[in-house]
Amino acid sequence: MTVHFPFQNSYAALPANFFARVAPTPVEKPRLIKLNRPLALHLGLDPDQLDTSEGAEILAGKTLPDGADPIAMAYAGHQFGHFVPQLGDGRAILLGEVIDKDGVRRDIQLKGSGPTPFSRRGDGRAALGPVLREYIVSEAMAAMGIPTTRSLAAVITGEPVMRETALPGAVLTRVAASHIRVGTFQYFAARGDTEAVQRLADHVIERHYPHLKAAERPYPALLSAVIGRQAELVARWLLIGFIHGVMNTDNTSISGETIDYGPCAFMDAYNPATVFSSIDEYGRYAYANQPRIALWNLTRFAECLLPLLSDDQDKAVAEAQDLLGAFGEAFNDAYKAGLRKKLGLFTERDDDQLLAQALLDTMAAAGADFTLTFRRLSDAAGRGDNAEVRALFEEPAAFDEWAVRWRARLGEEPQSAEERRAAMRTVNPAFIPRNHRIEAVIQAAVWNDDYAPFEELLAVLARPFEDQPQFAAYADPPKPEERVCQTFCGT
């Protein structure tokens, strides 16, 4: 049986300095441990063909499918504020692009498929744990409607990788609208290659923002569009308690997708200063800092585009600053609208943000669980009974005081209690990929070759807004001894 990928390779058709042509490094005994069959179908692939030994070899990089044009993409990036002029795909290889059932072009990339010219002395491999983490979190984000890269497959290679100790090696097949990053533009801008910056901008417009081709001035329109998508994306992260953990410019997607799930995590107890990443020593990428960092990253993108905005440097800078000034309003609009939905408010009032912030402050003071508070608030809106949500607060009097204001605000709107509850339950998930659950899944897989916990967690997270009584324990915050305080890149 021949596995067919209907590849098109538009990025590989760009000039040779945009990438390095390199094939994946073969592995000995690849074994498919997870295939995302619905996603395969959406991509126009045959899951039955992929779910074979031949499919496993392709998904591990042991063999190449017909039509693949494997490349490692070049990019630079600011990592924790420090510029590195050459990074690139050090352990990832883009096989090619397919057009999905919606007519959208998608990259198919192998992550952990061996060294490339950008590996910087790394082995180009991935350990099983980080592969499972990215599979779980990216698919959970997709189920919650957050723009994200997707996971098509996870394959165990049959070969160990050396980190602090020997660990099972694995390869993730990642699907993205594209893998073009702010850092991709920085790679060429740092070299003074304005022609390449313009070529890349034209490619991005063609691929992600085709409506801008008709714009009188497409490059400022591109900057504005990317700013808007990033503002909305980061607002949506905050609304579900997500912390990316490593918001470097090379991890900022031009398409507006969440990309590169390294030390990412979801908050349990609400605290705006929460940091999980073991390498974020100073809290640069803390939960509440993410909007500020997004704007910082977008400013770096704007710097790359300056020569395309105007031949007059001062005019270009002034226009870029003006466009960047729209980020704050775009973020605030998306964030405030999201908070109103989480509180069950259908209309807008001037003091709604104060009401929402008062709840968040009360949650922070009490250490109340972020996800569980909003989920129980959804049910409280349908019952008129606050008992279950107030139980999350050690000192419930502060919540009670807030709830009086909330109930009064709800009374200003005509929707029924059940309408409000139903609406709130579509934005306040019951289930998120809690860190202790992910760690338990990884431990079972790495040390016992047991993927049943992985499969069960994926099944639960595929329906995040449903109650699923048989899996109710997955909604619970960790017990003190289960808390995960640090997450790791796993590179």
Residues with catalytic roles = 250
CA distances to 201, 258, 305 from 253, rounded to whole Å, are 13, 7, 16
Kindly state the tokens that stand for 11: 């990025």
CA distances to 4, 95, 477 from 1, rounded to whole Å, are 9, 20, 46
> How many CB atoms within 10 Å of residue 64?
18
- Distance between CA atoms of 262 and 245, rounded to whole angstroms? 7
In 425-476, which residue ranges form alpha helices assigned H by DSSP? 435-448, 452-461
> How many CB atoms within 10 Å of residue 258?
23
Identity (one letter) of the amino acid at 335? Y
CA distances to 101, 136, 158, 270 from 484, rounded to whole Å, are 39, 16, 29, 14
> How many CB atoms within 10 Å of residue 67?
14
Q: Please check whether residue 42 is in contact with residue 101, taking contact to mean a CB–CB distance below 8 angstroms.
A: yes
187-199 burial string, b = 16+ CB within 10 Å, else e? bbbeeeeeebbee
Q: Which residues pair with 71 in a beta bridge?
A: 21, 94
Length of the chain: 491
Q: Is 477 left (phi over 0), alpha (psi -120 to 50) or beta?
A: beta
> What does 369-412 look like in DSSP terms, one character per residue?
BHHHHHHHHHHHHHHS--HHHHTT-SSHHHHHHHHHHHHHHHTT
What sign results for the dihedral spanned by CA atoms 117, 122, 125, 130? Answer: negative
Identity (one letter) of the amino acid at 338? G
Kindly state the tokens that stand for 487: 């997450």
Q: Please check whether residue 474 is in contact with residue 457, taking contact to mean a CB–CB distance below 8 angstroms.
A: yes
